[in-house]
Chains A and B, each alone.
Chain A
Amino acid sequence: MTSVAHAKPQGGGGGHDAHAPMSFWRKYIFSTDHKIIGIQFLFVSLFFLLVGGLLAMQIRWQLGFPGKPLPGGGILPETMVSGGVILPEYYVQLVSMHGTFMVFFAIMPLLVGVYANFLIPLKIGAHDMAFPRINMASFWLALLAGLIMTASFFVPNGPIRSGWTNYAPLAARPDLSGVTVGQMLWCISIVVLGLSSVLGSLNYITTVINHRAPGMTWFRMPLSVWALFITAILGVLALPVLQGAAIMLLFDNVLGTHFFDPVAGGQALLWQHLFWFFGHPEVYILILPAMGMVSDIIANGSRKPIFGYHSMVFAIIGIAFLGWIVWGHHMFMSGMNPTLGSTFMVSTLLIAVPSAIKVFNWLGTIWRGNIRFHVPMLNALGFVSMFTIGGLSGIFMAATPVDIPLHDTQFIVAHIHYVLFGGSLFALFAAITYWYPKMFGRMMSERIGKVHFWLTFIFYNMTFFPMHIIGMGGQMRRIYDPTIYTFLKPQQPLNVFISYSAFALFAVQILFAFNFLWSLKFGKKAPQNPWDDNGMEWSLPNPAPHGNWERTPNVYRGPYEFSAPEAGDKDFLPQYLKLPSDRDPVPAPLPAGH
């Protein structure tokens, strides 16, 4: 394969279509095409997002109306509800599985599974992932892990009861947690999921390093690719730690080892160290890709180059690096040596610095722009304003003395939802709408998208902002009935308010689901470059064919040349467009085996 000069790369997968036409199964089910795999991840993880949401609704019912029968609760078995009222053990399972599904099977695969797969090759001008079959295996393993996790609802004693964090020894001792098979399934599912993530991450890393098109230098990569690349490095280093810990936990449960149970010489805090050594980088796995994609969309919406591109790249790297040395801030109250608390406090507070750099550069990007308020841009702006709250509320818990009253209260719940819903999920609404035309060849409805954004934004804040106040009042996390505490009783009306808001927030997502599904068939046909963007993916027809480009494209400039003087009367200048003054890049030597 030689890449020689051609003014504009041609779309159409001619080279690959030369083979016999692929069957439906080969094309859509056992696909090795990174775009199809991305779409597979999209459907599966949106389903798990719905599952996680349904669990959240039940949690909110119980917290808002403790002791009242759950509407429709009659269909649940006696082990979960009694006379329609949620049982304490089921409540703890709801909390545990809501977190598990949202973190591992909704947000992480939505950001990484979908967009690392879909975007990396398209944005760097590659024909596919470095290892397409491993990529397929990564999807099927993730699905298998999801099914194993779901199965734990249907086994005796049900799913885990120790939170998504599975603190030992509670999670290590079936006699104390009351969970048997469910705990084993959690561990097995996580090991399988970890394998999927590691395979995926290796693929993303290799692809970014080896398969960039000629001219796609490191500092011409879009921030989305930078973020996904750094995320993949975090993934490949973090997930194996969790897998190891999950295997040890499984052994404690099944084989009678006592890694985490001090009764026979184990260490209870060992689990927390291992879990959070994975878990804190995981937090950044759940936000960095969102930041990257939002950066692309904000530059597009503002019609301006991203402000401070290099500091944005170094901020991503800085956040990822600091993310490795802050895990102890989850353990300030754990009985760990307080001196360690001091060091973890400092490293945690320092994360505010690269985070602030990102927020200010987004502001700098929209400053003096010529803003287009398309749905992805609205959601991206929603991301910036909400992530700011999530980031700032983190400073309260980072300051160790202030963490004492706030630790393990609803304040933490508010914080994590400002980051993961206000941050990651708004970014996902933006990203799904933005790349939908390249995935499916149609546009999502702009009108429904706008209504969805505004209603979500309002109900989201009504749901999660008051949780800060409830947490300040002292409401502990994961308690089944706050009303039994005298000091929590006065704030119960706020709990009711939060629950109503949460139900409205959930209901509004029907708009998004409808828009997503309806547009698959009835959406407006999308032009090749509907957002007037500069990315390499927009040089391809909709939907892009297997193999992407017929011939490897050339890259002539950075990704954010909006409103560049050379662009003439247009306000964008694609990376793939060759101007008379441009020289063709010298192709890098191809990696062995090609």
Chain B
Amino acid sequence: MRWWLPDAGSTFAGPIDALFLAILIITGIALVLVEVGLVTFVIRYRGRPGRKAFYTHGSTRSEVIWTAIPAVTMVALGLISNHYWVLIKDKRSVPPNAYHLGVHAKQFEWQVTYPGPDEKLGTSDDFTVRNQLHVIVNQPFAVELTSEDVIHSFFVPEWRLKQDAVPGMHITAWFEATKTGEFELGCAELCGMGHYKMRARVFVHTPDEYKAWVAQQAAGGTE
């Protein structure tokens, strides 16, 4: 049984998980405050014969306090979040040394196009593999997301990466995996009756492993 986010597998996981934890603490404090207050009041001020409620229409000072504190907290949270949001999603944040892969989504499979030995996408030695995503550990990658038919969503939980693939649009999503091994790529946007089985295997290799795999694929081999 897992009670937390999946194990961290990319550079995004650090800040996102930290932010998640921060929000959990803030909302946790608010939740405890409200629920404890509620239960305390409910017990303490339960109706008893002969008692009368305290007749008041409110207090401006309290209103100001409980308006200002959430407002300041939310604005601060927004500013911090925005910093990481830009880092992850903004086009200009894609590292210049990123390897580019093409990922074309269609009902119900992922077609991954690799640049081949020349490391350039859109040349004749490119090759396409169905439902297998191979990348190198500690190396920025950028996937060029497109869709054949309907909206799909590229989701690798360990990488904390999700990005819709929209027909008619070309969207770049980048990431840098930090853990080798095998993971899963799922579709997070309902794309039809086969949505649940739109699954690809994800392999994070060491550079040498990756090179060997590319060479094997370019030579027409299959895995």
Contact = CB atoms under 8 A, between A and B. Distances in A.
Interface string A151-184: 0000000000111000101100100111000000
B15 interface: yes
A23 interface: no
A405 to B, nearest CB: 5
Contacts of B67: 311, 353, 356-357
Interface residues of A, number: 102
A334 B188 contact: no
25 contacts: A92-B190, A92-B193, A92-B195, A169-B149, A169-B167, A176-B149, A266-B168, A308-B62, A335-B169, A335-B171, A353-B70, A357-B66, A361-B63, A363-B34, A363-B41, A364-B58, A369-B41, A369-B53, A370-B48, A392-B30, A396-B24, A405-B162, A474-B157, A476-B186, A490-B2
B219 interface: no
Given A167-B151, A563-B55, A178 B16 contact: no
B49 to A, nearest CB: 9
B81 A401 contact: yes
Contacts, number: 299
A21 to B, nearest CB: 44
A361 B31 CA distance: 15
Contacts of A304: 53-56
Given A345-B82, A353-B71, A478-B195, A268 B153 contact: no
A414 to B, nearest CB: 14
B117 interface: no
A460 B152 CA distance: 32
Name which of B16, B56, B85, B184 has the most chain A CB atoms within 10 A of its CB.
B85
Interface in A327-345: 333-335, 338-339, 341-342, 345
Contact of A484 (B48, B171, B196): B196
A309 interface: yes
Given A89-B193, A338-B89, A396-B23, A311 B58 contact: yes
A373 B46 contact: yes
Name which of B19, B53, B55 has the most chain A CB atoms within 10 A of its CB.
B53
A395 B194 CA distance: 32
Interface of B: 1-6, 12, 15-16, 19-20, 23-24, 26-27, 30-31, 34-35, 37-38, 41-42, 45-48, 51-59, 62-63, 66-67, 70-71, 74-75, 77-78, 81-82, 84-86, 88-91, 107, 145, 149-151, 153, 155, 157-158, 160-169, 171, 183-184, 186-197, 199
Contact of B31 (A392, A405, A409): A392
Contacts of A263: 167-168
A487 interface: yes
Given A161-B193, A349-B74, A472-B5, 20 more contacts: A88-B194, A176-B192, A303-B47, A304-B53, A311-B63, A335-B171, A338-B86, A338-B91, A341-B85, A342-B85, A353-B71, A359-B34, A363-B34, A364-B62, A392-B31, A396-B24, A400-B81, A402-B81, A469-B3, A484-B199
